[in-house]
Structure 1
Amino acid sequence: MTSTTATAPEAAPFRLFDLAVLRTRRLGPSILRITLGGPGAEGFSSGGRDQSLSVLLPRPGQREPVAPAGGSGTWTGKWRALPEDVRTVARSYTVRAQRLRADGSTEVDLDFVLHGDGGPASRWAMTAAPGDRLKVLGPTVADNAAVRFRPPAHTDWVLIRADETALPAAAAALERLPTGLPARVWLEVPHTEDRQALNTAAKARISWLVRNEGAVCDVEAVRAAELPGGTPYAWIAGEASGVRALHHHLVRERGFEPARVTSAAYWRRGLSAEQAREVEAKTQTQT
């Protein structure tokens, strides 16, 4: 599976931000929005679109997550050196939105998917309340290497395919598309009530694939579609096997140039985040 973008910047600085929960809002049965901020948010700079960061969650019994200081270049090694039963739980999330308020303070929205398996992020999110604290390893400049949605020059239309874990990224990317740019969009969610009103100036045709309504949610949903002519750019994200299958369809069957397809596996079916990282590390070692 190839993951490519237009010319990306050099790796930009990332650092730890100490954030507080300001408020929470349920967006549907499966999705909870948590707004973070406080004095520790100063200097946070999201690039929008599919801006990713690492959320560091406290373990049960901890008031705050235990994490070493440092930027992205030194933090990971220090974090791994901590005892496993002490170090914070790390999960990757997308910034849904960042706002600068009239008083100069910053707010950051993160949308949490409430998984039925009760993973650590879901458990934390469901009990989060104003004043609760967590840390994020986030960007300090907007044009950073953790933004991967980058349509190349001379793109005539855009294809977006995302499941609920990638919905915040897809929604943020739609908001940044140029006025009138054609877009074909497939968004998969568990329940009818998980659908959201989306803002975009693009000429977007959005198809909601709702699993509890029996929608066809695999690659067949795109395979059956008549796509626009011209030069495309595709961004596909979500469960690894589905992303891989759709990438194959677009490149091998539809003839998309690999350099015009960005693929992002946000999770792997049947594996925890830790197990998925181990699989990815073994794969990289073997290749």
Structure 2
Amino acid sequence: MTDAPAPYQFFTVAVLRTERITPAMARVILGGADLARMATAGRDQRVKLFLPHPGQDEPVMPDTVRADWYEAWRELDPDLRGIMRTYTVRELTRDPHELVIDFALHGAPDGGDGTEGDTGAGNSAGDDGAESGPASRWARTARPGDRIAVLAPVDEENSAYDFRPPNGTDWILLTADESAVPAIAGILESLPPGMPARVWIEIHDSADRQVLPTKADAEITWLVANTSPATTDAVRAATLPEGTPYAWVAGESATVKAVRRHLVRERGFDRRTVKFSGYWRRGTSEDHLLRVAEDPAEDS
């Protein structure tokens, strides 16, 4: 009798090609011999990326795949082990087998380890006004053949996605910033034909708008920094559809909390129908959050 495969496994992948989707969004297409085993639920599917440090050809990873992969990774030298970041899958294609990840780029291209936006599942590789962090630097300079590691599901039904509207949902509300555009794109593609959806996406520049294909009856509002209302204000001013809603709210932590508070307290949404995710926290990197998890004194 053989053991059942772990629900998540490590994959070694290499850059096949890159594209600049918008001035602030870079697409990296990855390939690997065993990508046929990788799975995704679509929607807002999360994976872990492990990036090399400067001077490394590929990330240093645990020698064996263990169920307690996180502990195995933590046991490695922090100055050598792969730099872990959480990202949303934009697409996983078949024939050819390719993994597509979109990176939202902010910050100075040649900066140091400054603040990063990729503190959760979001695809922001650098906070606005901050120096570029490791994910931003890697995405900006990725070339064909560059190798990274990915921890990803091997089953389409897995715990690493959040968009799960219950039966009886009449319409969908989505809000996001640039870090969550790949997730919004996946969610919109997954909606059934004619499903009413109201969508607000906050971006830094009007040039960063994207075409987001969907069969849903979606009204997408792009909120451009310094010229449009803040996300919470835009949602507060909107006339929403009748019926039972399901809301998915993601992006910068403070904005996410404010939108959720409005929907539950002012709009009367059942809190169980509002899924919210702080993809990043202003002024904080994923490295910092990992240190806090290990030593809460780091957050003081």
Same fold per TM (> 0.5)?
A: yes
> CA offset at residue 215 of structure 1?
1.3
Distance 1:233 1:241, change over 3 A: same
Distance 1:245 1:61, change over 3 A: same
> CA offset at residue 278 of structure 1?
4.4
1:32 aligns with 2:46: no
The corresponding residue for 1:21 is 15
The corresponding residue for 2:84 is 90
1:107 aligns with 2:98: yes
Report if the CA contact (8 A) 1:35-1:107 is conserved. Answer: yes
SS class of match (1:259): helix
CA distance in 1, matches of 2:279, 2:7: 22
CA deviations over 1:40-64 (Å, ceiling 9, x no partner): 4230111100000000000011000
CA distance in 1, matches of 2:237, 2:106: 29
> CA offset at residue 71 of structure 1?
5.1
Distance 1:282 1:159, change over 3 A: farther
Report if the CA contact (8 A) 2:200-2:222 is conserved. Answer: yes
Spell out the pairing of 1:260-271 with structure 2 (5 A cutoff): 260-271=273-284
Report if the CA contact (8 A) 2:172-2:197 is conserved. Answer: yes
TM-score (norm 2): 0.86
The corresponding residue for 1:7 is none
**CA-atom RMSD, angstroms?**
1.6
The corresponding residue for 2:204 is 190
> CA offset at residue 88 of structure 1?
1.0
The corresponding residue for 1:55 is 49
Q: Which has the higher contact order (CA 8 A, sep 6+)?
A: 1
Distance 1:281 1:195, change over 3 A: farther
Distance 1:154 1:184, change over 3 A: same
The corresponding residue for 2:151 is 137
**Which amino acid in 1 is paired with 2:104?**
V
The corresponding residue for 2:232 is 219
1:120 aligns with 2:114: no
Gap regions ≥5 residues in structure 2: 1-5, 108-130
Spell out the pairing of 1:244-283 with structure 2 (5 A cutoff): 244-279=257-292
**Which amino acid in 1 is paired with 2:101?**
L
CA distance in 1, matches of 2:103, 2:164: 24
> CA offset at residue 282 of structure 1?
7.4
**Which amino acid in 2 is paired with 1:159?**
L
The corresponding residue for 1:239 is 252
The corresponding residue for 1:43 is 37
> CA offset at residue 70 of structure 1?
5.0
> CA offset at residue 280 of structure 1?
6.3
Report if the CA contact (8 A) 2:200-2:221 is conserved. Answer: yes
CA distance in 2, matches of 1:277, 1:166: 21
Report if the CA contact (8 A) 2:223-2:231 is conserved. Answer: no
Report if the CA contact (8 A) 2:51-2:84 is conserved. Answer: yes
> CA offset at residue 221 of structure 1?
1.1
**Which amino acid in 1 is paired with 2:277?**
A
**Which amino acid in 2 is paired with 1:35?**
I
SS class of match (1:91): strand
Report if the CA contact (8 A) 1:189-1:210 is conserved. Answer: yes
**Which amino acid in 1 is paired with 2:98?**
E
Report if the CA contact (8 A) 2:232-2:258 is conserved. Answer: yes
Query: How many matched pairs?
Result: 268
CA deviations over 1:156-203 (Å, ceiling 9, x no partner): 000000100000000110000011010000011111111101110100
Q: Matched residues, percent identical?
A: 50
TM-score (norm 1): 0.90
Report if the CA contact (8 A) 1:13-1:72 is conserved. Answer: no
Report if the CA contact (8 A) 1:16-1:70 is conserved. Answer: no
Report if the CA contact (8 A) 2:202-2:224 is conserved. Answer: yes
Distance 1:231 1:281, change over 3 A: farther
1:175 aligns with 2:189: yes
SS class of match (1:90): strand
The corresponding residue for 2:160 is 146
